[in-house]
Amino acid sequence: MNVVVRSGRLDEGERLKQIAVVAKAFWGDELDRVLDWADQGDFSPARLRELVVFVAEAEDHAVGWCSVIPQGETSWLEDLWVDPDWIGKGIGRLLFDRAAAHAEGVGAVRLEWEAEPNAIGFYERMGAKYIRDSEPREWGRTLSVMGVELRG
C-alpha cells in the first residue's frame, strides 16, 4: 500500500469535510446529526490557512487528514480523520506521527487534543495519556483532553 502524507491545499476543503463526515459517522452517530455538525465547521481556504494541514493520499486521492495549531509550548491537534474504507491500515499513525513531528519542529514540548471516546485506544497506542476533561462540546458531550510529551 503506497500512502503519501503531504501538506494540505487551500482548495480541498470540500474533500476534507467529506472525510470528516464519514469518519465521524463511523462510530455510529446519526448521519443527519453529523452533517449538521460539519455544516457548523469551517473548511474554507481562510480557515485552512490558519491550520497546519497534512493529508494522507492513497491511490491518488485523499483518504485521511489531520490539522495542527501551533501555540507555543503546546501544539494543538485540531483534526484527525481517516476515511472508514482506509481505517485500520496504519494511516492514523502516519498522520499522528506527522503532526507530532511538526509540533516538535516548531519547538512545542507537547501535543494535546480532545479525543473522541472511541479513539482513546488508538491514542493510547500513540503513547498518549488523559490530561483533563474538555469544556462541553457538540451534543453536550465532555471529551477527554489527551496529550503526548514530545522529545524536543
Ligand X SMILES: CC(C)(COP(=O)(O)OP(=O)(O)OC[C@H]1O[C@@H](n2cnc3c(N)ncnc32)[C@H](O)[C@@H]1OP(=O)(O)O)[C@@H](O)C(=O)NCCC(=O)NCCS
Q: Binding residues for ligand X, per CB under 6 A?
A: 23-24, 26, 80-82, 87-93, 115-116, 118-119, 121-122, 125
Sequential DSSP letters for 70-83? --TTEEEEEEEEE-
Per DSSP, the chain holds a count of helices (H) and strands (E) of 5, 7
- Give the C-alpha separation, 55 to 61, whole Å: 9
Nearest residue to ligand X, by Cβ distance, number only: 92
> Minimum Å distance from CB 122 to ligand X?
4
> Minimum Å distance from CB 129 to ligand X?
15
**Per the structure block, which three cell numbers stand in for 93?**
499513525
Query: Closer to ligand X at the Cβ: 12 or 83?
Result: 83
Query: Closer to ligand X at the Cβ: 104 or 138?
Result: 138
Q: How many beta carbons lie within 10 A of that of residue 111, not counting itself?
A: 24
Query: Closer to ligand X at the Cβ: 96 or 108?
Result: 96
